[in-house]
Structure 1
Amino acid sequence: MAREETGRIRRPAAARREQILAVAADAFAIAGFRGTSLAEVAQKVGVSQPGLLHHFSSKEALIIAVLQQRDLQDEQYVEAQFAGTETTTREWLMAFCRRNETQPDLVRLFTVQAAESLDPAHPAHDFFYQRNQRVRNRIAQLIEADQAKGRLLSSLDPAAAAAELVSLMNGLQLQWLRDPAIDMCGLFEASLLRLENHPNTVTPLVEPPQAEA
């Protein structure tokens, strides 16, 4: 790698961009969007602020790029797990949950930014709105497919169940970030199992009377 006159290491553009995204993701996860400055990110990366702006035109552009990259990586990872195969609602959701268990910093990033972006003026407001719509629609499609095959209770409303599952996952993630001892994925899977159709394993609420000898 070449060195600039300032002593900074000059990286290829693609590598520098990835480095900026990684450093910015950590900063946004800890301090939020408003608590993070481009100067701080640039200093940690080892570039000047104008050098950072060469890759990302503004802090608003940077936060969107961070969120889009992390989201895309997760989706690609999970979809690759089921390439060419049929997946159930539980399998698909648990794949995301297990992946999240391995990257608490990413979960923190999305949790912090999702809360901040409730403000319509936040640059990621539309990103999270559209993301939530997309995720809920995907889950609803999986639920409908499972219902057609008798895997999930037919009484479920796919759209409503999808919204409930997203809310449950978000809530469990928040609890897990506060207390890593919480079995986030175990609790989530237990809830998913309760939605499945198990006609042959239902325990009666009242014990049947014993036949007389």
Structure 2
Amino acid sequence: MARVETGRVRRPAAARREQILAVAADAFAVAGFRGTSLAEVAQKVGVSQPGLLHHFDSKESLILAVLQQRDLQDEQHVEAQFQGVEVTTREWLMAFCRRNETQPGLVRLFTVQSAESLNPAHPAHDFFYQRNQRVRERIARLIVADQEKGRLSPSLDPAATAAELVSLMNGLQLQWLRDPATDMCGLFETSLLRLEAVPGTKA
């Protein structure tokens, strides 16, 4: 049970860590990495700054923990949907799109941090580079599998098509964040269906 000491609520370490990550995600999404201070996060959490640093020893480690946690949770959520099932390129990508529709704050976080991390000095620069490579490679493998099953045209270049789809999804997310009325997933699925509309291929 949580205890109150010196005006603050003492939470179990794991619960406090989760609380810090949630508050930090909101702060980074709104103000970016440079515009967010550890003092601000600590105040919103209800801990001292040294107390926050007990869990994350720097702002750099905090932003990386936020991004890594979100990425892992999304991957686990989607992979659980297709456990033991052969998934198509469209099904896999649409599962992520539908997931993103439910968490605009986290989509904003990734959009803001992805742009900021173009600066090589940004602490998430390598994270986003490696993530982009990993996602594109995963999509390319799905495309190859779909081509082998006759679902997609063999004329498609898997790597180039994967890069195009990632760029499309990123662009649609930005439009959706600017105007929530944008049918992000509907537009994305329409583009994916065009790839499947190949004469002579199997459904």
TM range (shorter): over 0.9
Secondary structure at the residue paired with 2:196? coil
Structure 1 gap ranges (5+): 202-213
Cα distance change, pair 140–200 in 1 and its aligned pair in 2 (3 A): closer
Task: Report the counterpart of residue 3 of structure 1 in structure 2.
Answer: 4
What whole-Å deviation, never above 9, does each CA across 1:25-75 have from its counterpart, x for those lacking one? 000000000000000000000000000000000000000000000000000
Task: Give me the whole-angstrom Cα distance separating, in 1, the residues matched to 2:52 and 2:103.
Answer: 26
Q: CA shift at 1:17, angstroms?
A: 0.2
Aligned-pair CA distance for 1:108: 0.1
Measured after TM superposition, the shift of residue 3 of structure 1 is 1.1
- Structure 2 distance, partners of 1:189, 1:180, is 17
Runs of 5+ consecutive residues of structure 2 not aligned to the other structure: none
Please list the CA deviations of residues 98-121 of structure 1 after superposition, one character each: whole Å capped at 9, or x if unmatched.
010010001000000000000000
Q: Answer with 1 or 2: which has the greater Rg.
A: 1
Which residue is equivalent to 1:143?
143
Counterpart code for 1:188: F
**Percent of residue pairs bearing the same amino acid type:** 87
Asked if the contact 1:8/1:47 (under 8 Å) is kept, the reply is yes
| Counterparts of 1:111 and 1:133, CA distance in 2 | 17
CA contact (8 A) 1:150 1:197 kept: no
Q: Structure 2 length as normaliser, TM-score?
A: 0.97
CA distance in 1, matches of 2:190, 2:147: 18
Aligned match of 1:205: none
> In the alignment, what sits opposite 2:104?
104
Aligned pairs for 1:152-191 (under 5 A) are 152-191=152-191
Q: Does 1:58 align with 2:58?
A: yes
Superposed CA RMSD = 1.0
Q: Which runs of 4+ in 1 moved over 4 A?
A: none
Tell me the SS of whatever aligns to 2:16: helix
Give the Å deviation of 1:197.
Answer: 4.5
* Matches for 1:39-78 after TM superposition, within 5 Å: 39-78=39-78
Structure 2 distance, partners of 1:198, 1:160, is 18
Could you state the TM-score of these two structures normalised by the residue count of structure 1?
Answer: 0.92
Count of matched residue pairs: 200
